[in-house]
Structure formats: C-alpha cells, structure tokens
Structure 1
Amino acid sequence: MDNSPEIKSFPSPFSVETPQGAEGWEKLYPYYLTFQENRKDVDGREFWFQNSQQWPVVVKPFETIGCEFAIRQLGEFNSRHLMIPTANGIDYRIHQGYLYMSPISVPEDQVADRVAQFEERAGYYFENWESLLANWYTKVKGTIRDMEAIEFRSLPDVVPLEDITSGKGRDGSEELFRSYDKLIDLAYQNWQYHFEFLNLGYIAYLDFFGFCKEAFPSIPDQNIATMVQGEDMELFRPDDELKKLALLAIELGLEQHFDQPDDADATLSRIGAAENGQKWLGVLEESKDPWFNFTTGNGFYGHDQYWIDHMEIPLSFIADYIRRAKEGAHLARSVEELVAERERIIGEYRDLLDEEMQEVFDAKIALARLAYPYVENHNFYIEHWTMGTFWRKVRELSQLFVDAGFWNDPSDILYLGRDEVRSVIFDLVNGWGIGAQAIGPDYWPTEIERRAGIIAALKSNRAEPAFNTPPEFITEPFTTMLYGITTEQVAQWLGDGEEIEGVFKGMAASPGVVEGIARVVTSALELGTLKDGEILVAPNTAPSWGPVFGKISATVTDIGGMMSHAAIVCREYGLPAVTGAGSASREIRTGQRLRVDGTKGTVTVLDDVENTAATAPDVAGAVA
C-alpha cells in the first residue's frame, strides 16, 4: 500500500476547457506562444504561473509584441550577455489569452563555468555604472525621438510630377513598409536597452540581500529593503510635476477653474483666459514633455491611456491635489524621515559586524544603492514613454486603414498579429497601385468582428493561477522578489496549509499596521472613487497611480514581491503594504473594514460591508 502523501497539482493547460464562444482562440497567436499538443511531455512537466502583474488581462494579437520583446530580452541578458550563473531566462506561453511564465534554471554542472564570465561582464558594468548609464539615457531618448519622427502618410491619387521628372522611379508606397518596419525595430531596440541595466540592478540588491541573510540570519526582509529606501527616483517625477502644478495654481489664484477637470479642453480654455493663466499653461507645457508620457496602465496594452493624450487624467489629479493642499495636507513625500530610518537601520546592523565584515557590508550596500534607482527609473523611459509613443504611432497607421475602409476604429488593428499588418499594408498599396479595390475592406470587418467575439469570450473567463505540479520549493530569486511567487503562495492557491476565514496572507512588503475601509480598484478608471484614508485593494498597481498613494492608508495587491512596484512605492510613501495576497481583490469587497499588517504580511477582514458601508474611513496610525 502506497502511504506517500498526495502531490497536489494545478490543472494541465491541455485539460482546461475552452470558454464557449472562444473556440479557435489559438489561431490568433503565433504558434510559438501557445502550448502545442506534441509538446505535452515537455510543457506538461514544467510549472507555469500566470503573470497578472504585467499582463493582468487578455492580450490581443498585436499586443503580444510586449511580452515577446520584454521577456525575450530579459532572458537574453541573463543567459547570453551577463551569463548569470544560476538563472537563464523565463519561458512564456499564452493560454486562452493570458500570459504564463516558467523560469529556466541553469543546470548545476554549468554554474561554475559561468561564474568567471559573469564576474567579468557584470563587474565591468558596476565599475563603470555612471558613464554607461549616461550613455543609456542618450540611446533610449534617441530611439524615442526617432520613433516620434516616423510618419504614416496616405497614398496620393497620383504620383507627383516631380517624382516623374526627377527620374525617382518609385511610387512612395515603399515608405509605408519602411516606416512600419522601423517602428517595430525601434521598439525592439529600446526593449534591449531596457534590460541592459535592469537585471544588474536586481542582482546588486539580491547580492546585498543574500549577504544580510547570511550575516544576520534573523533579519526581516523589510529591514534589508529599508536600507536602500529614500533614494531619488525619476519615476516619482510625473507625480511631483502634478504637485508643483497644483501648488502653482493656488499661488496664481486659478484653483476655481479646476471644478470640472474631466472636460480637459474647457478647463484649459478657462485657465488660458484667466489672469495668470498663460503663465500656468507655460509651466504645464514644460511638464508635459516628457513627464506626461505616463500611462494609467503598464504600457503593454494598446488600450492604455497616456496622460499626454488624455489630459483629463492629469487635470483630475491636479484638482485633487489642490483640494488636499487647501485642506492643509502636506503633499511632499517625507524623504527626510525615510532617510533617517534607513540610516538608523544601517547603523544598527553594521555595528554587529567586525571591522573586516563592515568593509564587505559597506561595499555591498553601496553597490545596491547605486543600482537600486534604475529598478524603478527605467520604467518611465521604456514602459511609459517608449510604449506610449509606440502605441500612438500604431494608431496613426491604423487610421490609414480606417480611412480606406479596412476596419472601423483605429483600435481594431490590435486584433491583427504584427506580421499580418505587414500583409495588410501590401493589400492596401497593391489595390492602390493597380487601380483596383483592395481585398481588405471585404475581408477584415467580418474577421475582426469574429476575433473580437473570441477575445470577449476569453475575457469573461477567469485565468487559472498556474499550471502543472509546482516544485517542492520556489527558490528562483527573481520570481520571488518580483512576483511574490513563493512556496507559501503556491500552497495557498492549492488550498494547502492553514486557512483562516477572512485572513489573507502575502508578502510583508512595507511595514506598519493600519485599519480602514477597503476600496477595491480593478482598473485605473476607478481611481477617482478612492476616498482619503481608504485602503487600496487591487490585482496590481501601476506607476502612474502615484497621486493616490498620498491619500490612501495602505495597499493590498494580489501579486508582487519585495521588489514589485507596489512594494517599492509604499515603502517610499511610508505606507503599510501586503503584496502577493492571492485572491484578495476578488474576495474583499469595497466597504469592508480591514486590518493590513504590512509587518507580518496579513490582511484581516474585520467587518462586513453591511456594517461599514456608511462609516467614514477611520485610519489607525501606522505602527512600525
């Protein structure tokens, strides 16, 4: 009789039923992004988790460019550039529209051979960090400006006479192909630059983290994170610009003009006509480029809204800052307090070491603090500015096809794969060139409607959190630090371990204990419902949500580790946070009273909605 314990598993991706109406969804994506039946023995063995941090909703065909470029480059810099001894890349698949990932470890017999290469390559970057990073900014900004300069011009009724008389010998249609190819190439280029420093930033922190765990076995993870907090980060700059504009509006006596910020054109028109209004608008223009190239999402989706294209978003934030400032709120982050706490903890732990080990400690923390700001700063330049420009250009191209009758809305292009778009360009120029009707207007409207129906059916289906049998222990550091995928988290998904009704366990991401009213937010469109002092509960957060962190009392997310954006931002704002809390945003309801213990990593439901819906937020002070 076999008495061995039963090993719990998640379902196989090959056994999950297709939602009604989504039949044939696999054909919307490249073959290499879906699980193939003839690879059951390979993909059916690996553990895959759904990355709801970066890809929380269904990915449309054109939007796969985000996961393909980002995850490929991440892996390349691990396994081909830096030769990280223990970690290769991350394999990835799309299943029923959702993205799943599986970290690839390095075989033990190859680790030693990679150590020397890694030390040489990473060492060069760490030794020349500042000059190489300065070059990075030049490269990335240059790529963005090149992308901004791309034009998609409609085809003329007739080739201009000067092209005939000059002997040009071309009709100009080739520029559409070149512009499209260049757009894709530039996006690919900046995604390579994205990971040039990012993995090194994590490595520097993980090296310091590992040293601390060995030198101080009982040190909490939060104390290690606190030792690098309080650094100046450019990712806070867009939010700082909003605060500056709010305070300037009060100073210039313009605050009354922000009563209806949802109507951006009318608001800006009233400000422009007011005394001192032009002065304020001048400062606004200076802030917009580049700091309003900020998305309410994460940059991976074509539907993400960017401040610079939807001015009602930053105007609404400014209006709220004006209200809070006039009520006496202090808008600036308490950086001095963060730095004081950082230095206190550094000093306490450093004093526990002998002189020799203190030198090692000093070197490792200096490296971690040197590299740490990039972990957040890169986000603005790539996910936000680069991808905002990219999606704007994609819509400009799509408008040509709308005008030619291929489809009805610029966003319809997202239902095509990027290789299909190139074929559609040929269809357009072919019909134009030979003087015939292109085929697209008779093909794509019906096909896009069919694909939209499949995507809608996939969206109605809740994604499985993971596939196949998890390893006994989750030890891959990037997976744990970034996504909060831990042994304990996976056990919760499987229903293992002790479960207490009304209690959610996650990552102790930012210390403190707060009680308050929950506000469940599932998209940026709902941020306006947040009231002062409420607890933000969300599947994940985005950097552009920064303006709400000054008014909430704590944060709870379904996914995310110690180095996730939500965790880092909450530590910088001094807010308790529990990340990687699994199904918290699906099970907690707006109006429930919660206790968020960011020191222990627990979220407790204290009262039901019926008892608290009419109760104003009553937030207890954070307890370290």
Structure 2
Amino acid sequence: MSKKFISPYDHKAPAGAEGWKELYPYYMVFQDNLKETEENKFFFCDSQHWPNVFKPFDAITVEFAVKCLGQYNTRQWLIPPANGIDFKIHNGYCYMSPVGVAPELIGDRVPQFLERAGFYFQNWNTLLDNWHVKVKGVIDEMEAVKFEPLPEVIDIEWVKNGVGLDPTYHLIQNYDKMIDLCYKTWMYHFEFLNLGYAAYLDFFGFCKETFPGIPDLSIAKMVQGVEVDLFRPDEELRKLSKLALELKLTDIISSNSLDAALVALGASAEGKQWIEAWENAKYPWFNFTTGNGFYSTDKYWIENLDIPFGYIQDYVSRLVNGENIDRPTEEIAAERDRITEEYRDSIPSAEAQAAFDGKLGLARVVFPYVENHNFYIEHWAMCVFWRKMRELSSVFVQTGFYDDIYDMFYFRREEIHQLLFDYGRGWAMGVPSIGPDYLPNEIARRKKIVDALSTAAPKPAFNEPPAVVTEPFTIMLWGITTDSVQSWLNSGETSNQLKGMAASAGKVEGIARVINSPEELGQLQLGEILVTRVTAPSWAPVFGKIKATVTDIGGMMSHAAIVCREYGLPAVTGTGSASTTIKTGDLIEVNGSTGEVVILKAA
C-alpha cells in the first residue's frame, strides 16, 4: 500500500487554538461536509511564500494572489496542462493543491494558448512598458489616500458648497479603495508572470527532449546572468559602501548608529556628498522588505533605515578588510555562454538549432520579469499598502478602540467595515462607540489563538500524493517533485542525509546556521551555510558572507535558487525538512550540483 500524508481532517490544532477556523473566510478552510472531496486532493504547505501563521487580515495576500494566478492560467492564457491552484488555510498555514487539466482537454487549449500568449510574447517590451505605467499608477493612487480621525465639527465650507456628505463617507470609501487597489496590484502581478514561467518551461521541455539526460541546472544556467531590478536595492548599498571608502568616511559609518553617523557626516563636504547619495538611493529602492511583503508585520527599509545602514556597515568592514563585495557577474555570464554554446553545437540540424535559438531567446527576454515583478509588487506596492493600513489603524488607536497599531490585523478585511461603521455611528450620534469596550477582549482572544497556532510547525503535506507530479509550475516554483514528495514521506528514516533540488552548482563544507526569520540574519557569521525554510530576495546583502544556502521548499525557479545562481553560491532547495533536521553548529556538506546535503558532524 502506498504511503500517504495525514488527512487535514485528522490533524488537530494545538491546545489554545480552539475556534481558529472563524478567523478566516469559510471558503479558505476545510469544511466537514466536503471531507470526501478534499481528502482526494493532494495539498502541500506553501511555506515558500507564507512561512508564518496568518493573522486574519493578512490572509488577503494569499486570497488575492492565488485567485489572480488562477484566472490567468485558466481563463486568460489557457495554459495547456495547468489550471489554477486550489488553496486552504489549515491551522493558520497555507496549503496548495494544483489543478491539472484533463488530458483529453489539453489539445484544444494549445491553439488558444499560442494565439493569446503569442500576442504577449510578440509585443512583450511594449506591453511591459505599459505594465510599469499601470503599476506605478496604482502605487501613486495608494500614496494619495489619506486616513484621518473624524473632525469634531464638519468644515463650514462643506456646508457652503452643499457637499451633502460627511467625512465617514470618505473614510469608508478610502478603505474600500485601498482594498480595490491591492486587488488590482495582484492582477497586474500575474499578468506576465505565468508567461515568464511558460516560456522557460517551453525551453526546458525542448532541452529535455533534444539533450537526453541534461541536468535541470544546466538549462537554468543558460538563462542566468541577467540584470534585474530586484537586485538594485542591494547594488545601491554596495555603491554607498564603496563611496564611503572612496571619500574616507568608513570610520564614521562603522562606529556610529545611523542618526549619529548622519550628524557627523553633515559636518564635512565629503559627508554631505555621501548623504546626498544615500537620499537618492532611498526612492524607490528602499521600498524593500526584509520579509516578502505578504504580512502586515513585514519590515520595510524605508521605515526602518537602520536595516539598510546595518548592511552598509557590514559591506564597509569587508571593503576595509580588502574583500571584493561585487556579484561575480562576469563569471556567471561566461559560464552561461559556455554551456549554451556547448549544447547548441551538439545539435546536428540547422532547423533544430534555429528552434533552440528561438526558444532560448524568448526565455531570456521574458526571464527578468520572473524576478522583477517582485520588487514592484511585493516590495514597493505592498510597502505602501501596509503603511496605509497602519495609518487607518492609528485612527482607531487615537479614538481608543485598541492600543496597538497592529491590532487591526486580527480582523478579517470585511470586518473592518464594522469597525468603521461603529466609529462613524458613535461620532454621528454624539455617543461613545462600542469598540473601545468590546474590541480589547476580542483582540486578546484572537491573539491567543494565533499565538497558539504559531507554536506548531506546519505539516509538509496532506493526503495521498500523486504517483507522478507533472504540473509544471509546482515543480519549477515550489520544487515539489515525485522524488521530493517521497523523501518527505520517508523523512526520519535517514537523519544525516537530505535530498533536494540541485538549484545552484558547487560543493562546499561549512558550519550550518539555521535562520527562522529575517530578525535572526544578524547572527550569520562569515563563511557559514544558511539553512532556512525559505529565503527572501531581500536577504541578498548577506549572500556575500555565506558559503551556500539550503531551504525546505523551492524549485529551480524559486527566488532562493535564482538569487543563489546570480550570486554564484551553491544551493539545494526543496529538501522538505532541512531547517528542522539540521541544527546550528552542525558541520554539513552541500552539493548544489547533485541536490545532496550531508550532516558530517553534529554540533
């Protein structure tokens, strides 16, 4: 009998989390009357995008993202083998179940996909220029929204102009507008993304057929070495670090807090020159989160300037020690060209060579978007969205509804309407709102549930896995393959060896450092190996310190894999359990060319 994972219906919540389901919309949780249907689907935990328990409001990110991903696959592009992705929140974590297309329906979708996707591929640059205008427009619209406490008395000008409305109307309208703009943002997020993956997968499939036995990593290397905006924030920090060295300001920057350093720098012409460069780098590149933009608690550089300044201090000390802090872009490009030439030259017919050139050319044109969208959506747009939501929350704090600006996120997005109406109703009638008496206990109850859910790690998957994983996005993005699922099922049988995706070439030995959150990145020592559930693109500034990366989840096209290849670091992704099997201080060997990780000596 084949092995299977536990059913979500048998997987109980930790003590203290009773009643957790009511924190989320009904369609996001497993329903008892659908047990038979839901147990026939394979669900895996998407800790790559959502590694933490959701507060009720934060679930908006998975809801909008996965719905918008689905509509492009299923209804717009008609991606031949793949519809959308079903998802559920279970015990606070996100689980995904890819929806395949029935084999007999795939053929009918091919011509429709070629026509629709073909139009985008043929007009890629023009459409992408327009995309940038649209996204920047949404960001500007979000920036323009203001949330302020209701006035004691309506402005006399409103009376004289016969406005006929009151400020509660605009308060509610502005909240609705922010949710609407967030939804729009996620539609734009997926407008090009699935096509970027589709073009790469087309090239990938061609290579697998043309070069039997070609490693996945060799195919990935043929599209590496691209300049992407996602790396710009890190590049800006390196530029500022080099400028500090050039202007002989390293002592001031190394030995002071940011505020003290800015005061000291302001006293000289060189210091003022550096401050000007620092100010210029901030917009838009510091709209960058240490997380991934999916949680209300994510910290953004622009609001926590000590974070990028800390990275600069680190770079400066390495420059002073004579280290090279640049990405090895030339070596990566040379390796890309060498591998491409080698495989291209082995193709006997001119016709097949032309097909190879066309597919590779398209993959290279569209590939930068696979990373770039991340800066514009998850980082920049979501930075503004979360800031505006905190602005609204501060109105509730000022009016005594609750004490902490982050308390609003314990309510679902549709429940915020109740808070707004309660506030406006009391204001309109000249009586106290109910919120200040009712909400603190309710927030405390919900906090207790979320905290209890956070005490238990998520299960990697539920139900019976498919005999063979074929859905291309699942393999490429999450690293969920037939082999990886089997190794999750067998985890615990061999404790000193882990298998994952060979995501970025190279073999190294080193001391492991297990990192569970961005706040712990400061613990990383030079020459250690980063072991984590998943890395965020914003962790790039620490990649110069480490020898290799190992993650629990992620495929060839995950951010961890792409960033490691672009930084020339060995990486094994999608191991399933590295962050819980390996301990900080263990001596480990990472082989990014074969996807193997061995614990050589326990800490």
State the TM bucket, normalised to the shorter chain: over 0.9
CA shift for structure 1 position 154: 1.3
Hey, what does 1:339 align to over in structure 2? 333
Match among 128, 140, 160 for residue 133 of structure 1: 128
Matched, 1:537 2:531: yes
Q: Matched residue of 1:291: which SS?
A: coil
Q: C-alpha separation between the residues in 2 aligned to 1:272 and 1:592? A: 46
Matched, 1:603 2:597: yes
Q: C-alpha separation between the residues in 1 aligned to 2:137 and 2:314? A: 35
Q: C-alpha separation between the residues in 1 aligned to 2:177 and 2:503? A: 41
Q: Matched residue of 2:382: which SS?
A: helix
Q: C-alpha separation between the residues in 2 aligned to 1:393 and 1:359? A: 51
Hey, what does 1:614 align to over in structure 2? none
Q: TM-score, normalised by structure 2?
A: 0.98
Hey, what does 2:85 align to over in structure 1? 90
Counterpart AA for 2:520? E
Counterpart AA for 1:360? A
Hey, what does 1:619 align to over in structure 2? none
Q: C-alpha separation between the residues in 2 aligned to 1:264 and 1:442? A: 41
Match among 445, 452, 467 for residue 450 of structure 1: 445
Deviations 1:522-570 (A, max 9, x none): 1111111111111111110001101011121111001100000111111
Q: C-alpha separation between the residues in 1 aligned to 2:357 and 2:208? A: 15
Hey, what does 1:518 align to over in structure 2? 512
Task: Give the stretch that moved more between structures: 271-280 or 550-559.
Answer: 271-280
CA shift for structure 1 position 500: 3.7
Matched, 1:226 2:221: yes
Matched, 1:583 2:577: yes
Alignment of 1:374-389 (within 5 A): 374-389=369-384
Matched, 1:313 2:307: yes
Matched, 1:36 2:31: yes
Hey, what does 2:474 align to over in structure 1? 479
**How many residues are matched?**
602
Counterpart AA for 2:602? D
Match among 394, 401, 410 for residue 399 of structure 1: 394
CA shift for structure 1 position 259: 3.3
Alignment of 1:491-510 (within 5 A): 491-495=486-490, 499-510=493-504
Counterpart AA for 1:567? A
Hey, what does 1:151 align to over in structure 2? 146
Counterpart AA for 1:319? Q
**C-alpha contact 2:30 2:38 (8 A) present in aligned 1:** yes
**C-alpha contact 2:20 2:449 (8 A) present in aligned 1:** yes
Deviations 1:410-457 (A, max 9, x none): 100110000000111111111001101101111111100000000000
Q: C-alpha separation between the residues in 1 aligned to 2:331 and 2:216? A: 20
Q: C-alpha separation between the residues in 1 aligned to 2:163 and 2:183? A: 32
Match among 275, 285, 307 for residue 281 of structure 1: 275
Q: C-alpha separation between the residues in 1 aligned to 2:493 and 2:196? A: 36
Q: C-alpha separation between the residues in 2 aligned to 1:72 and 1:127? A: 26
CA shift for structure 1 position 274: 4.2
Hey, what does 1:291 align to over in structure 2? 285
Misfit runs of 4+, over 6 Å = none
CA shift for structure 1 position 490: 1.1
Counterpart AA for 1:572? E
Counterpart AA for 2:122? E
Structure 2, unpaired ranges of 5+: none
Hey, what does 1:15 align to over in structure 2? 10
Q: C-alpha separation between the residues in 2 aligned to 1:367 and 1:237? A: 23
Matched, 1:250 2:245: yes
Structure 1, unpaired ranges of 5+: 1-5, 610-624
Q: TM-score, normalised by structure 1?
A: 0.95
CA shift for structure 1 position 520: 1.1
Matched, 1:116 2:111: yes
Structure 1 vs Structure 2 CA RMSD? 1.2
Matched, 1:301 2:295: yes
Hey, what does 1:236 align to over in structure 2? 231
Task: Give the stretch that moved more between structures: 275-284 or 480-489.
Answer: 275-284
Q: Matched residue of 1:436: which SS?
A: coil
Q: C-alpha separation between the residues in 1 aligned to 2:165 and 2:332? A: 62
Q: C-alpha separation between the residues in 2 aligned to 1:260 and 1:314? A: 15
Counterpart AA for 2:185? N
Q: C-alpha separation between the residues in 2 aligned to 1:280 and 1:124? A: 46
Q: C-alpha separation between the residues in 2 aligned to 1:524 and 1:272? A: 31
Paired-residue identity, %:
56
Task: Give the stretch that moved more between structures: 243-252 or 73-82.
Answer: 243-252
Counterpart AA for 2:273? K
Matched, 1:70 2:74: no
Hey, what does 1:183 align to over in structure 2? 178
Q: C-alpha separation between the residues in 2 aligned to 1:168 and 1:135? A: 37
Q: C-alpha separation between the residues in 1 aligned to 2:188 and 2:169? A: 29
Hey, what does 1:431 align to over in structure 2? 426
